[in-house]
Amino acid sequence: MYLNASDFCENVWDHSWKYTDDNQPCMKIWFDDPSQNPNKIVAQYYLDKSCSHNNFSQSIFLILTLLALSINNILFNMSKN
């Protein structure tokens, strides 16, 4: 069905995800502790990188991603109470 991990990641969600090697910062779909979301660090990394290159549209996207991750964390913490 899929040729390899890259083919799966890039095609199963209609090119919404891009395959990267483990040594590069990348978003994780699954992780053990939702209160310790590793995607925040990755989003911050790319936000800092895009700000240093003056890439406005990418910066806005990453700001919105950080906002969404923060809201997700708040909702997760509220559901625990």
What is the rounded distance in angstroms from the CA atom of residue 10 to the CA atom of residue 38?
20
Supply 49's token pair.
Answer: 């990188």
The reported pLDDT for the residue numbered 7 is 85
**CB contact at 8 A, 25 and 65:** no
* Residue 52 clears pLDDT 70, i.e. is over it: no
* Residue 53 clears pLDDT 70, i.e. is over it: no
For the segment 48-52, the average pLDDT, to the nearest whole number, is 73
Choose among 30, 23, 33: nearest CA to 9: 30
Q: At what angle do helices 56-80 and 39-52 cross, to 10 degrees?
A: 160
What is the rounded distance in angstroms from the CA atom of residue 78 to the CA atom of residue 65?
20
* Residue 55 clears pLDDT 70, i.e. is over it: no
